[in-house]
Each structure stands twice: as structure tokens, then as C-alpha cells.
Amino acid sequence: MSETRNVDNFRATPLPAYQRIAAALRDRITSGELAGGERLPTEQELTEEWGVARQTVRNGIAVLVSEGLVVARRPLGHFVRQRENMLYRPQGESRDQPASPEMDRFCQQITEEGRKPSQTIDVSLIHAPPDIAQRLQVDPGTVVVARRRVRYINGEPVNINDSHFPFHLVKDSEIMSPADVARGTNQALADLGYPQDRAIDEIFTRMPTPEQIRRLGLGPGTPVAVHYVTGYIADGTPVRCTVNVLPSDQHVIVFERKFERTWS
Amino acid sequence: MSETRNVDNFRATPLPAYQRIAAALRDRITSGELAGGERLPTEQELTEEWGVARQTVRNGIAVLVSEGLVVARRPLGHFVRQRENMLYRPQGESRDQPASPEMDRFCQQITEEGRKPSQTIDVSLIHAPPDIAQRLQVDPGTVVVARRRVRYINGEPVNINDSHFPFHLVKDSEIMSPADVARGTNQALADLGYPQDRAIDEIFTRMPTPEQIRRLGLGPGTPVAVHYVTGYIADGTPVRCTVNVLPSDQHVIVFERKFERTWS
DNA sequence: GCGGCAACATTGACTAGACATTGTTCGGGC
DNA sequence: GCCCGAACAATGTCTAGTCAATGTTGCCGC
């Protein structure tokens, strides 16, 4: 096989073969020559085309898989991944921010064409994990109410949405029932005497934990965005901490900001 | 798009060895037994411990690397990655949103302890790529001003920040000079008669392109957040489109929202 | 026509090696 | 003491194979 290797230009150290294979395939994908959903050459074909061992080809493909560009569908082959973005609009939850014409434009671009949403809800009392405890300003291990949702579209899980409330605030309320709260839990909280005045949004991006991979049925090479929303009432007491986990290949997070005092 | 969904609550066949190795190491890391910066057992040691071939051990470690939990430092071994978050606060750019006490709390938690920031600025005229053109509502290929910044802390690149303006708006202005604009480009835009009234924020998370890996010196297993800000003046005309690229292992994106009409 | 079964193609997992590459360490020469 | 080079230890790359797992396809019997 060493003959075919001479084709390289003589650089200090040429890129290893598997990276050259990955780069060549990546180019064909990003250039559009291989479109979303299309099948890549089989490992066998690539082995012959490049004159390397099958394992080397597999290493190259593994690079693309970990970049989220390619998925395997055994035993059919490897396929270029389809990306299809879906809007995720944190501000939509508060129903009081009238969308501006520009916002509408953005929303229209990614329309939901007859997708069927559904969800599962599970309410339980848990000891607050550190991240939640810190945001709700309680001691870690304090009992809080966790309202865990997984949202589906056309049967596919797309979104984890876990809301946490201090137990004494929502005890015996509607929020404790594992059913949809039609008017929204924020309205329900307000009805209990805790109207939220403001919220802080934090967004992290990470590779998912195995637990998140399981709950969202994720493929490899898919990072997730973790979005914390901590809601406060007027006196600064936090009353809600929501954790949203979004597979990044399905969501765009969109905010709109108005500048109260304009630059003048 | 069901592409890859492993819904394996029950597994007839036991997990493959490399995944068991990965899981065992991951447990030791997340439990804190192996702390950030610590060295993993060598491949040789793991090979003997598990009684498998070296390649199998390597596959297991590769899983952790692609999850961003582990990095290799040849020829010393594999090390548990240190994560250190830094605040990224889009609203900070507008200097008119007084931070609430809660916001301050969040900022204080991640203090910058004597870090030395620096940046490079590069201004050029470019043909608008599709993503920018769409947001500035111009035809793709139209000439726009690109003000490209890379921000460094302690000499390490941490952030790409590319602002784009329609050429005719900023022609001959201070914005065209490749130097820092002390009062901020938004103020400069306002002084030119284009005060921004509102902005739309979009956040995507992706595995980085090779180009982004190069500019930010990223390691493997690091997703990036791509943050677009499109600024509009009162009549709805977009006057600015900024693209921020943030390595996710270094940033938390933080927003604060005030509810104009409170749930009552 | 139709249900079920077997062959098939393809990826997945793994082995047992070889040689390359590269920071580190340490000892010898000056 | 200091510099340089060699040995070293660890990961990086690659080969050539074996056997397993699994959707798909098409054939066969009914």
C-alpha cells in the first residue's frame, strides 16, 4: 500500500490518513455534493478508494459522527444528517411580550407544519440537587417540588423541562398534580400570591450526560443546551427554577430585547 | 428524522466492553474520585485491568474525550478536564440595563480574578454571507462592513465577535477603523443617526467547524454556542448583525428579563 | 397474494500486533 | 552549573484479520 501514499505533497508531517478521509467527506457534505439524508460510500468502497485498512476508514467516519455531520444506520450505511431547526422562545412562556413584526418574521421562517405535540408530566418531591438549591437559595437537600416534563413532537422526544418550586409555596396546590395546568404554572403561582416580577436566564452548552442521552434519545455528536430560568417575585425571593434541556440539532433559542433607554 | 434514537431501557446483550470501560471511568470522574486535572490510568494499565486489547481501551477513552470530560496530553497520559465557566452577558453590551441585586449575585459568583483581557480587531468589506444577508435584509453578496474581533484572556482566545453593518450606514465613520471604539459601536451607530430600539438574539449550539476550531484553539469534544444579535432601529430596519462564537466550556450565557405585565 | 424465513450487505466490536510521534527526564560532557 | 542528546514512556496511527448484530430483500411454501 505504501505506493499510493506517495501522492501526498511533502509537508512537514502530512495529515494522517483518517483525517484526510474525514476532511474529504466533510468537504463533500458542506459543499452540498452530499446532501442531507444521502448515503455515504460504504466502508468497503472507501477502503478501496483510499487504499487503507477498513479501521482507518472507520476512524475517519468516526470524526464526522462526533461532529454531528453523519449518522450510521446499520446495516444500510452512513448517512448525512438532516438538521431541522425548531424555534425555542423562552419569552413565549410569559404571554405578555407582544411579538414585534421582526419577531414574527423569524417565527414564520420556521413554521410548524402540522406537527403533533404531546408531553409526559411527572411530579415528585425531591431533595434539591446543588444546582437547583443554589438558584432557589435553599440548602442543598431541602425538599422541593420537581415537575418534570418531556415534550414530544410526532412521538419524538425533543425537550426536557423540569420546573422546581420550594415545597411550602405550592403545597396542596394545582402545581402538585401531574396534569397539564391549562393557565400555566406561572399563572398558578401568581394566583397563590407569588407573581413573578423578573427572571434570570442562564444558558450552558455541553455534551449530554448518559442520563440526558437516554431521556432524549440523542444520537452521538449532539451537544445540548441547558437553559436555567430562575423566577423572582418583587422582593427578590426566587420562587421557581426551571431546567430546560434542548438537543442542539433541533433548536434555536430566540430572545427579543427592547432597549428602554435608546442610545441617543 | 428518527435518525438515531437509542431507546434502550433494557438491553438483551450487555454493553460492549469499551462502553463499560467508559462508564466506569466516567463514574470515577463525576463522583469526584478523579478530580479535574488528575491523570487517568494509562492505556496499558487499563488493558491489564480489564483484560482487553489496547484498542478497546482506547475506544472507551475516546468516548470520554468526545464528551469533553477528558483530554490527552501526550506523552503524559489522559487527564480529567478542568472546566471553568465565565459569564457572557449579552445585555451587558447595552449599558442601560441596571443589574438587579440578583443579577449581581450571579456575576459575583464567577469573578474575574486578575485576568488580563486583550483583543484583535480587523475591519474589512466583505460580500455578505447568506446568514448575515438574511438578517440584515440585504441580498446575499451585497457589500457589508465586517468588524471582526477575537477576544483573549491571559493570551488564550475565548471568543469570536464579528459585527456586520450595511456599508452605506457606516461609510467613513469611526466604525470603519480597526481600533477600539471607546464608547461602543452601538453608541457610534446612534451618533450616526441610527439608534437601536430593539434586538433579536438567536442562540445555536453546534460542534465547531474546523475554521472555528482553528480560530479559537479548541480541543475535541467542545461544542460552541453561536449567538446572533440583530439590532433594529425604531422603524424596523436592521442596522447591525453580530455573530458571537463562544466555546461552551468557558461560558455561561446570562439574560435577565423583566415582566412588564406581571402575572396577577 | 401473503406470511415467514433465510441469505445478504453493512456496520459494530474486538484482537494482536507494528511502527510513528513527541514531551519529559536524566545523565554525560563541558 | 548548564546545555545537549539519548532513552523513555505514553499516546497516535495503522494493518489485517475474525466474529457479532441487524435491518433489508427476496424467495418459497401455502
Residue B138: per-residue pLDDT = 94
C-alpha B220/C-alpha B94 separation (Å) is: 34
Q: Which pLDDT band holds residue B86 (cuts at 50, 70, 90)?
A: low
Query: Distance between CA A190 and CA B234 in Å, rounded?
Result: 33
Q: What is the pLDDT of residues B164-181, one digit of tens each?
A: 999 999 888 888 887 777
A234 neighbourhood in chain B, CB within 8 Å: 262
Whether residue A8 is predicted with pLDDT greater than 60 in this model: the reply is: no
Q: A99 pLDDT exceeds 50?
A: no
pTM: 0.74
pLDDT score of A77 more than 50:
yes
Nearest-Å Rg of the Cα atoms of chain B is 23
Q: How confident is the model at residue A78 (pLDDT cuts 50, 70, 90)?
A: very high
Mutate to test the interface with A, among B20, B134, B242, B262 (most CBs of A within 10 A): B262
B159/A contact by beta carbon, under 8 A: no
Instruction: Determine the pLDDT at residue A50.
Output: 94
How much is the average pLDDT of B61-85?
A: 86
Q: What is the mean pLDDT of residues A174-197?
A: 84
Percentage of chain A exceeding pLDDT 70:
77
Q: Could you give the CA distance from residue B146 to residue B128 in angstroms, rounded to a whole number?
A: 9
Nucleotide nearest to B75 (CA to C1'): D10
Cα–Cα distance for residue pair B186/B242, rounded to 1 Å: 11
Instruction: Name residue A133's amino acid.
Output: A
What's B257's DSSP letter?
A: E
Residue B120 binned pLDDT confidence (cut-offs 50, 70, 90): confident
B residues 199-238 lying closer than 8 A (beta carbon) to A: 199-207, 210, 220-221, 223-225, 230, 232, 234, 236, 238
Do B246 and B157 touch, CB atoms closer than 8 A?
no
Q: Is residue B9 pLDDT above 60, yes or no?
A: no
Q: Is the CB of A130 under 7 A from strand C?
A: no
Q: What percent of chain B clears pLDDT 70, i.e. is strictly above it? A: 77
CA distance A91 to B255: 11
* Report for A25-29, A111-115, A174-178, A185-189: range of highest mean pLDDT: A25-29
Contact in structure between A47 and A57 (CB atoms under 8 Å): yes
Note the pLDDT tens digit of each residue in A111-169.
Answer: 344 455 667 888 999 999 988 999 999 998 899 999 998 877 656 677 888 999 999 99
Q: All 3 cell numbers of residue A117?
A: 405535540
A113 Cβ neighbours under 8 A, 6+ residues apart: none
Q: Is B132 helix (H, G, I), strand (E, B) or coil?
A: helix
CB contact under 8 A, A262 and B91: no
User: Could you tell me the distance in Å between the CA of residue B156 and the C1' of nucleotide C19?
Assistant: 35
* C-alpha span between B147 and A36 (Å, rounded): 32
| Peptide linkage before A75 cis (omega within 30 of 0) | yes
Query: What pLDDT does A15 receive?
Result: 82
Q: Using one digit for the tens of pLDDT, what is the confidence trace for A211-242?
A: 777 777 777 778 888 889 999 998 989 999 99
3-state secondary structure of B135: helix
pLDDT at residue A59 is higher than 60: yes
Can you tell me the mean pLDDT for B213-237?
Answer: 84
If pLDDT is split at 50, 70 and 90, which confidence band does B6 have? very low
